Structure 1
Amino acid sequence: MFSSPAGGASEEDKSVKFTGWAAVPGGDGVLQKWSYHPRPLSADEVEIEITHCGICGSDIHFMTEGWSSITRPAIPGHEIVGTVVKRGKDATHQIGDRVGVGCLVSCCRGSSVCNWCRKGEDQFCENKTVTFNSPFKDGRGGISKGGFADRIRVYSDYAFKIPKEISSAEAASFFCAGITTYTPLKRYKAGPNTRLGVIGIGGLGHIALQWAAAMGCQEIVAISGRDNKKDEAFKLGATKFINTSDKEQIKEAAKSIDLCLCTNGSSNSNWEEYLSMMAPLSQLVLLAIPEEPITFVGSHLVSRDVAIVGSHLGSKGDIEEMLEFAAKQGIRPWIEKRPFDDINEACKDVHAGKPRYRIILEMDPSVSTATPTSS
């Protein structure tokens, strides 16, 4: 097991160590147990004992440095659920609250607030800190560590109380896959007049189909390269299925989709085919990020006023709204639970696209070491 030095920890925190599964120097994509001293708990932070954490495709891109290089050791994980076991005096949560943490753990603090935070769009904050491998910009130093761990400390406004109707294991996926798909449907006003397409029936796509059904979309088209998920797509809310390996199906679907969420991060996707299905004045929204550049012919956009746009997470307000909507509408991810100690095999399965549809790491309750306290 790797261990970090105490660094800038205060006297009271020098004896405290959190342990996670980290991408370490020379690890070759295999996570190893690693312990570190957390930053001292501030007045408006909470300490969370983690019970569950989802594995997202972006964790795999991170571990393998598919998007960019990383600072090692680094603990991934950003679909976090657990219990508040310690709180600063100004924290909004109480000891024992069940909360979730997503892709961000901090935005503007104090009197200096950026334009995006003033607009309530904190996902674009100029001073944000993402959940792992990101420098804190609050003047206290340190680099964020993620949720593949036993505990985490975050600002309390980035820990969201989970509705009682949603189990902890089910809740984890909402903090990335859920909010990533909910936000563009809200932004582009998906509803009874929307013919919606969802490209890729996986960790994101299977939740997107459920959102669309609950929002009452006119038509919900599941788009995949194979028929092996066709029956499941209809159970999830699809009203139509297109297999992109069948050229006749693509031809029949020409100009038929008003809003399309692309959850497929494959660099080999046929963007020409996707764009041929887009109706005039439609939007093709990129949610997954291929590791290679995407290419397409510009006439698809110009001739029908089609827009290719991106969508990045959601605000704190969006997350709270999403959780309430999911609880009310009975929307739940389809999950497979694995123990944290099986994390490397679970990550391999995610990389291979095996889950139906989300793997959730679950901590053995008998290993709990945290003692609930206020400070």
Structure 2
Amino acid sequence: MSDGFIGYQGLDAKSVEGNLVKGEFTPKTWTEDDIDIDISHCGMCASDLHTLRSGWGETLYPVIVGHEIIGTVVKKGANVKHLELGDRVGVGAQCYSCLEADCPDCSTANEQYCAKGVFTYNSKFEDGSVSYGGYALKGRYPASFAFKIPEALPSAIAAPMMCGGITVYSPLKRNGCGPGKTVGIVGIGGLGHFAVLYAKALGAEKVYGISRNRNKEADVKSMGGEGVIATSEEGWSAANKRKFDLILSTNNDHKMPLTEYLGMLKPSGRFVQVGLPEAPLPQFSFGPLIMSNASVTGSLLGSREEIEEMLSLSATQGVKTWITSYPMSEVNDVLKKMENNEARYRFVLEN
């Protein structure tokens, strides 16, 4: 008996072409720390594509991707105190960490880096059971990484925030985005559009998109940004030398012009990478780092506290994901649209 656990499964690397198969699956082993949720919405993330095609290493097939999940609690364990049956909750890309007092990460609100952490799909729990994501009708997850959704946030709007939103919110906040700062966002896509929205919500004075061309400039301005720096235009980096306090890169292209990006940082500026290319980056020059006391760092997701902050900020400031919704049953057709870069800027599946 599946007990209602039915999902759209990728069976091999070709599943990314729109070959998911609907079928029953066995969720993680039940514990009294868990919840079962009826899934109403699931955002589609580029991570889903990378995983379906084994772009980041061999995937644990069969896999059910999707880690921007909104649903209703229909079962909860005896140890779950912060949630009740019927609550509308969100689950993001991480569903577990040890949360132990002596853990150097969990004890410092950095649980996304916990060595015992489990991702919401294509990962394994300590007992060996596999994690399955939100391209499904129902899911089972540790309650410690499920978050109540504010009433002001519609489910379809909130779903992509659970991964795409927090992936950029956390590094923006941790790296000083705020009043008086000029921020550049490399790549105006699912992550990049969130980065523009949250940079403005956090009070940045000026926010620019950095993209190959200007075809999304009107969108960036509609999100509150100043405009776009087009990397296809001659002299683009030199014309913007020492312009930015912070550059956040969502770029997944391993051929990105990193040296040129770094040349646009102000003294003591920061370049933060959140996109994860499938191949190593080419060599780059340390000159801009040394001459400007600049730094390069990376970021993964965000803490549970930051997820709560992000949801609250989104509700109070009216941050709205740019979405197009489709029935979950059309997931294979929508995967093809994702592969063709047709999302403006997030696709959401609805049951």
Give the TM interval when normalised to the shorter protein. Answer: over 0.9
Where in structure 2 are the equivalents of 1:167-186 lying within 5 Å?
167-186=154-173
Q: How far is the alpha carbon of 1:273 from its aligned partner?
A: 2.2
| Structure 2 residue aligned with 1:333 | 321
> Number of aligned pairs?
347
For residue 66 of structure 2, give the secondary structure of its aligned residue in structure 1: coil
Residue number among 85, 97, 121 corresponding to 1:95 in the alignment: 85
Give unmatched runs, 5+ long, in structure 1: 1-13, 364-375
Q: Equivalents in 2 of 1:240, 1:37: separation in Å?
A: 48
Cα root mean square deviation, aligned: 1.6
Task: Assess if the C-alpha contact under 8 Å between 2:71 and 2:88 holds in 1.
Answer: yes
For residues 202 and 25 of structure 1, the distance between their equivalents in structure 2, rounded to whole angstroms, comes to 26
On the 8 A contact 1:260/1:283 being kept in 2, the answer is yes
Aligned partners of 1:77 and 1:146 also within 8 Å: yes
Cα distance in 2 for residues equivalent to 1:219 and 1:19:
46
What amino acid is the match of 2:54?
A: E
The structural deviation recorded for 1:52 is 0.5
Alpha-carbon separation, structure 1, partners of 2:229 and 2:274: 19
Q: What percent of counterpart residues are identical?
A: 38
Deviation (angstroms), 1:90: 2.0
Q: 1:131 touches 1:144 (CA, 8 Å); kept in 2? A: yes
Work out the CA distance in 1 between the residues paired with 2:329 and 2:250: 29
- Equivalent-residue separation in structure 2 for 1:114 and 1:249 (angstroms): 45
Partner in structure 2 of residue 301 of structure 1: 289
Q: Which residue of 2 aligns with 1:37?
A: 26
Please give the secondary structure, in 2, of the residue aligned with 1:348.
Answer: helix
Deviation at 1:41, TM superposition (A): 2.8
Distance 1:361 1:113, change over 3 A: farther
Gaps of 5+ in 2: none
- Residue 237 of structure 1 aligns to a residue whose secondary structure is coil
Are 2:146 and 1:159 aligned? yes
TM-score (norm 2): 0.95
Q: How many Å separate the matches in 2 of 1:28 and 1:49?
A: 24
Does 2:335 align with 1:350? no
Whether the 8 Å contact between 1:17 and 1:36 is mirrored in structure 2 is: no
Q: How is 1:1-375 mapped onto 2 (pairs within 5 angstroms)?
A: 16-25=3-12, 27-29=14-16, 30-91=19-80, 92-108=82-98, 113-137=102-126, 140-295=127-282, 296-363=284-351
Amino acid in structure 1 at the alignment position of 2:93: C
Task: Determine if contact 1:16/1:37 at 8 Å carries over to the other structure.
Answer: no
Structure number with larger C-alpha Rg: 1
**Would you say the 8 A contact 1:53–1:79 is kept in 2?**
yes
Whole-Å separation in 2 of the counterparts to 1:291 and 1:169: 29
Mean alpha-carbon deviation: is it higher for 37-46 or for 181-190?
A: 37-46
Q: Partner residue of 1:4?
A: none
Q: Does the CA contact (< 8 Å) of 2:191 and 2:250 recur in 1?
A: yes
